[in-house]
Chains A and B, each alone.
Chain A
Amino acid sequence: MEVTGRGERLACGAELGQLVDQVAEATPPADLAHQAACPHCRAALEELESVWGEVRDLARQPVAVPAGVVEAVMRRVRAEHAAESVVIPLETIVPRLVRHALLTGERGTTQIADSVVAAVVRRAAVRVAGVHSVGAAGGLDAVVGRLAGQAGVEVEVEGHRVTAALAIVVLYGYAIPEVVKAVRERVVEAVEQIAGLEAAAIDITVVDVDG
């Protein structure tokens, strides 16, 4: 390769750097006609292809990962994970989020998480004819509700008594008072028959009409 100095240009004026990138990236030459005819370029390209061929060959070599890397990492990960997950009862951290309905029986107590009660309420409500959906159409309430598991439903349980508040969207065309009445009846029924609890109050807010 006839190169001057550190090799910026060939004798024909072509930039060596351009030829390097051309070979490395396997891109078409900037000046095909010149390269095809120029002995300097052709000699340089030939040498570069040979040098870069070796880079490609090395890149194609399979590299064996030493055995045991993942195992060593996972030993450390498990140790750190175990140290982090010291069991603290959830209720001591978030007493307001996890609550239970409490049923005291002769042979032990039954606890039903309020998220379960909320799920029961929600499912009962969405099955009522005329209900488009349960939950505010977007907004903070829906987001907060979704975090707790049930958008649009708030449940408070005290012992076996349940107070529920739910937001519903009514299908356009249905009489809202009748839909609300049916929702309340279905929800009370579900709370009592499915959850086995007592429905003290079911507050319903119609937040939208749709459909």
Chain B
Amino acid sequence: MVLFADDVHLVRAAQAHDVHAFEVLIRRHEGAVYRVALRMLGNPQDAEDAAQDALIQAWRALPSFRGASAFSSWLYRIVTNRCLTLLAGRRAVVPLEDDRPDSRPGPEATVEAEEGFEELKTAIMALTPEQRAPLVLREFEGLSYEEIGEVLDLSAGAVKGRLHRGRRELVEEMRAWR
């Protein structure tokens, strides 16, 4: 039964154009992909779009996946890069103070998002995307420094440094709320 096949076999089948195998794979990993997008982008609408884009991109890039890393790491890489690209675009189009979009979840967003944690979420969104990415992968997804390094193309040492700075920033932000 294909439902219980491991990722390696499913990836191989999907690479051989087995669309159903790909569906089983992404059902297995959509939670992680969406969570990363949600924490990186800060609102459910953008996160849903980014998760969809990332999964479609995964299908298109599947022939180039060589299995050097786990499929899950590869997906983390795609969705994280997708979010970083989106965020870079956001920064590029906010030259005017007045136009600056509020990164806090809007009222309609909070209905669908989990309750509470508003200060923390705002503090996370106040980090630079480069600091936020390792923090999300570490604290919310539980990846090791090495795995985060694979996802972000950084050495484990560089990951540690960014995490350290990101945590410091986060703590400062949170203390400012108290």
Cβ-based interface call for B76 (8 A): no
Whether the Cβ atoms of B168 and A55 lie closer than 8 Å is no
List residues of chain A with CB within 8 A of the CB of B48.
66, 69
Determine the distance from Cα of A69 to Cα of B174 in the docked complex, in whole angstroms: 33
Whether the Cβ atoms of A66 and B22 lie closer than 8 Å is no
Whether the Cβ atoms of B31 and A63 lie closer than 8 Å is yes
Cβ-based interface call for B30 (8 A): yes
List residues of chain A with CB within 8 A of the CB of B140.
58-59
Cβ-based interface call for B153 (8 A): no
Determine the distance from Cα of A7 to Cα of B114 in the docked complex, in whole angstroms: 32
Of residues 150 through 178 on chain B, the ones whose CB sits less than 8 Å from some CB of chain A are 163-164, 167-168, 170-172, 174-175
- Using an 8 Å CB-CB cutoff, how does the interface string of B127-146 with A read, 1 for contact, 0 for none? 00000000000011000000
Residue of B whose beta carbon sits closest to that of A61: B114
Determine the distance from Cα of A62 to Cα of B60 in the docked complex, in whole angstroms: 29
Residue of B whose beta carbon sits closest to that of A21: B164
Residue of B whose beta carbon sits closest to that of A76: B56
Cβ-based interface call for A73 (8 A): yes
Whether the Cβ atoms of A70 and B26 lie closer than 8 Å is yes
Of residues 75 through 95 on chain A, the ones whose CB sits less than 8 Å from some CB of chain B are 76-78, 80-81, 85
How many residues of B sit at the interface, in one of the four size bands? 35 or more
Whether the Cβ atoms of B174 and A51 lie closer than 8 Å is yes
Contact partner, A70, options B30, B60, B114, Cβ 8 Å: B30
Of residues 10 through 36 on chain B, the ones whose CB sits less than 8 Å from some CB of chain A are 17, 19, 22-23, 26-27, 30-31, 34-35
Contact partner, B167, options A21, A66, A74, Cβ 8 Å: A21
Contact partner, A20, options B23, B44, B112, B168, Cβ 8 Å: B168
List residues of chain B with CB within 8 A of the CB of A61.
114, 117
A5 to chain B, nearest CB (A): 11
Whether the Cβ atoms of B164 and A69 lie closer than 8 Å is no
Whether the Cβ atoms of A77 and B59 lie closer than 8 Å is yes
B123 to chain A, nearest CB (A): 9
Q: Which one of A52, A59, A69 has the greatest number of beta carbons of chain B within 10 Å?
A: A69
Determine the distance from Cα of A55 to Cα of B139 in the docked complex, in whole angstroms: 8
Of residues 40 through 71 on chain A, the ones whose CB sits less than 8 Å from some CB of chain B are 47-48, 51-52, 54-59, 61, 63, 65-66, 69-70
Cβ-based interface call for B148 (8 A): no
List residues of chain A with CB within 8 A of the CB of B112.
66
Whether the Cβ atoms of B120 and A69 lie closer than 8 Å is no
Binding site for A on B (CB under 8 A): 17, 19, 22-23, 26-27, 30-31, 34-35, 38, 44, 48, 51-52, 55-56, 59-60, 112, 114, 117, 120-121, 139-140, 163-164, 167-168, 170-172, 174-175
A6-B172, A24-B167, A61-B117 given; 4 more Cβ-contact pairs under 8 Å: A58-B120, A63-B34, A77-B22, A80-B60
6 closest residue pairs by CB, A with B: A73-B55, A65-B34, A51-B174, A77-B59, A58-B117, A59-B140
Binding site for B on A (CB under 8 A): 1, 6-7, 16-17, 20-21, 24, 47-48, 51-52, 54-59, 61, 63, 65-66, 69-70, 72-74, 76-78, 80-81, 85
* 10 intermolecular pairs with C-beta atoms under 8 Å apart: A1-B175, A7-B172, A54-B120, A57-B117, A63-B34, A66-B48, A69-B51, A69-B52, A80-B59, A81-B19
